[in-house]
Chain A
Amino acid sequence: MSPVLRAFLIISALLLLAPLLFPSVYYYRIGVLVLINTLSVTGMVVLLGYVGLVSLGHAGFFAIGAYATAVLPAYGIPPILTILVGAIGAALVAAFIGKPILRLKGHYLAIATLGFGMLVWMVLSKEAWLTGGPDGMVVESIDVKAPFELLGIKIKTAIAWYWICAVAVVIGIVLATNLANSPAGRAMRAVHESDVAAASLGIDVARTKLTAFIISAVYASVAGSLLALFNRYVTPDTADFLHSIEIMTMTVLGGASSVYGALIGALILTSLPQMLTVFAEYENMMFGAIMILTMVLMRQGLAPAIAQLFSRGRK
């Protein structure tokens, strides 16, 4: 079975079966958040896992998508279309800032992306005439039940959102898996492992990194748009530094080298705080602790560790 078909079947099956474990509509809401984070993290898998770059500013791209969806309907663009406009905007911004900063390596790049995220946060907080400032703004709602009603299915809003986001995640994961096994993805992995060797084969290292950066920005932006539509409210917190860290932690915990890791990382780190609301105060500490433990105990992340366990079992 090709890796793409396998990813499609496994992820689809998981998302189809998950609702069997949902005792109430509230769980569908958590499910939606997990799926939206999965989308962001899948983009980060392309960036960190495929081409090996760290970004601590991806919440910036997430916020670009979220605010595109919040702001643009006032200018006559239908809410659904704002997802596309936001994605194109995020891609352009990524191309513009990526060109100079992707020449940096390791922690220099991390710091530069961190700066980008803060910049977006600052603009969103200060330009109140457009963004509503620190209080955020209301997002025009869309009728997500309509497509289901067309098919004659009566459905609650949160449940409709779950299925819409599930489709988005399956598409996102299939695209990323296709990429991994394609010429462009191979070039990315080659750059990741040895940029001198990649360049000696004619691979334009800077361009390859930029492509991955843009792709990951688009994933984050689409996730941001979906969250804005789902919550019907956006705040500058979408661009917050801690949100970038969250995306990064999910990626590292799940395992940056595989798209399955994206789902696992997003699932654990989105649902844990919801289950343990008593510890809400310590959420950020938890992210830090998880990051450290993952680095010390299983640098590859959970998904490869689980895969290894299975292959050992087979032997």
Chain B
Amino acid sequence: MTSLTLENIGISFGGLRALDGVSFTANSGEVTSIIGPNGAGKTTLFNIITGIYQPDIGKVLIDGTDVTGEAPHDLARRGMARTFQNLQIFEQMSALDNVMAGRHLHERRNVLADMFGLPSSRKCNRESAIAAQAALKRVGLGGVANRPAGDLSYGQLKRLEIARALTTEASLILFDEPAAGCNAVESREIDDLISSIASDGAAVILIEHDMRMVMRISSHIIVLDHGRKIAEGTPETVRKSPQVVEAYLGVHGAKEAGAALA
């Protein structure tokens, strides 16, 4: 069981209060979504959780341990993985190598053994390849494992990032707009994938603009506006909150959210 807790997070850029007193908890087995209009502070919050920004005040806790401001690679060691809104793919590497890089923390790291091609290093490589192959299959990219990542389509790259995050065996996975720029079918596939990742027991945190997706797969939604949390709860309660409708969803969005839930 893993949980991520944010306590009273606040950060300012110059005079602008980008986040103010944001608190919530994301539990394993659940999809916790962060939504809000552009400029609400979603990405800033994401960057604080993933260790890119240090908050001015407040704490980030993983299973009760304070991890505020730890470097991204240390957070990975604590079981955190993420995908990127503007894809961060290793384009010159094959799809398989991209995902194998995600096995880094499971590999025994010894540069000399690697250079001399010792059996321990080869065994490590084989195990990583097997795990990576499995992750690629799970996201439906089993057939393109040996293609250079740069040759894949946008939708495939989105899923490649998910496979890479999955293969770390993280217990806490953050998705930054995983369906952005995908068509309806691709978006639906990613929905299902994220739901299944959560039901496997990971704590999933999602930033997404696609309201249908958010309403359909979230167990728990946090709504931000101007750096403050204006609502929190199940999709049902959030959709009906007058504040949320006013700040973000609008009348049309509320309808669409309702349609997704129905």
Q: A183-B128, A187-B101, A200-B76 are in contact. Are A211 and B116 (CB under 8 A)?
A: no
Residue of B nearest to A207 (CB): B73
Query: How many of chain A's residues touch chain B, expressed as a range?
Result: 20 to 34
Q: Does B138 make an interface contact (CB < 8 A)?
A: no
A216 to B116 alpha-carbon distance, docked (Å): 16
Name the residue among B77, B110, B114, B116 with the largest chain A CB count within 10 angstroms: B114
Contact B93 A190 (CB under 8 A): yes
Stretch among B2-10, B117-125, B211-219, B221-229 lining the A interface: B117-125
Q: Which of A205-259 contact B (CB under 8 A)?
A: 205, 211, 215, 257
In the complex, chain B residues whose CB is within 8 Å of the CB of A199: 71-73, 76
Contact A184 B101 (CB under 8 A): no
Q: Does A201 make an interface contact (CB < 8 A)?
A: yes
Among B92, B107, B110, B125, point to the contact of A189 (Cβ < 8 A): B92
Stretch among A11-19, A30-38, A81-89, A173-181 lining the B interface: A173-181
Among B50, B90, B105, B128, point to the contact of A202 (Cβ < 8 A): B105
Contact B90 A183 (CB under 8 A): no
Please report the number of residue pairs spanning A and B whose Cβ atoms sit closer than 8 angstroms. 108
Q: Does A193 make an interface contact (CB < 8 A)?
A: yes
Least distance between A157 CB and chain B CB atoms (Å): 31
Q: A183-B107, A183-B109, A183-B128 are in contact. Are A190 and B115 (CB under 8 A)?
A: no
Q: Does B33 make an interface contact (CB < 8 A)?
A: no
Which B residues have a C-beta under 8 Å from some C-beta of A? Answer: 50, 52, 71-73, 76-77, 81-82, 84, 88-93, 97, 100-105, 107-111, 114-117, 121, 124-125, 128, 164-165, 168
The 7 closest A-B pairs by CB, nearest first: A202-B76, A182-B114, A197-B88, A199-B72, A202-B105, A193-B90, A183-B107
Which A residues have a C-beta under 8 Å from some C-beta of B? Answer: 4, 174-176, 178-179, 181-187, 189-190, 193-194, 196-205, 211, 215, 257
